[in-house]
Structure 1
Amino acid sequence: MPHITVEMLPGRTPEVKKAIAKEVMERVAPLAKVPADSITVTIHDIAKEDWNQVVEERNHKDEEHLYTYESVK
């Protein structure tokens, strides 16, 4: 079933991360036509100083699968 990875800067509490994961699951479920409990979410904290190397470079290499807000409006 769907697995969603969220990468963001550090600083959120475990409770906030849990709330983010729950919200993502509940919103994706009807769109993907799957039960919310079949969706898994991984949340990775990426340090600001590592962001370009870890996220931006990978996204640039994988632009075919990258969705930004601008690309889906």
Structure 2
Amino acid sequence: MPHIAISMHPGRDTETKRDIAEKMKQQYVEMFGVDDSAVSVSIVEIPAEDFAETIQQRYRPEELYTSSRVIPGTNNSDD
């Protein structure tokens, strides 16, 4: 039962968020060959001024796998 959690700045309408969620879900299904009924997606809006601090509190550095210019320490790799 995979779950994809997306955190983003506010401002997108419900239709756009559903589109984002569906595209992320389909990518996951294609990459891992799982049934799409097993994958869920959530989107949480975090104000820009709170974004970096909220993400740093919510996730350990080793859980962040892509870099971000606004969140220090998000360069997780085995290199």
Question: What TM-score comes out, normalization by structure 1 length?
Answer: 0.81
Bigger fraction of residues in helix: 1
The percent of aligned pairs where both chains have the same amino acid is: 31
Q: How many residues align?
A: 70
Distance 1:62 1:48 in 2: 20
Match 1:67 to one of 60, 65, 68: 65
Question: What TM-score comes out, normalization by structure 2 length?
Answer: 0.76
Query: Which of structures 1 and 2 has the larger relative contact order (alpha carbons within 8 angstroms, sep 6+)?
Result: 1
Cα RMSD, aligned residues only: 2.0
SS of the residue aligned with 2:7? strand
Distance 2:33 2:60 in 1: 26
Distance 1:7 1:22 in 2: 15
CA deviation after TM superposition for structure 1 residue 12, in Å: 0.4
SS of the residue aligned with 1:58? helix
Alignment map for 1:38-53 (pairs within 5 Å)? 38-53=38-53
CA deviation after TM superposition for structure 1 residue 71, in Å: 5.7
Q: Which residue of 2 aligns with 1:14?
A: 14
SS of the residue aligned with 1:43? strand
The superposition leaves residues 13-68 of structure 1 with CA deviations (integer Å, 9 ceiling, x where unpaired) of 0000000010011010122221122100000000111112201x237x61222110
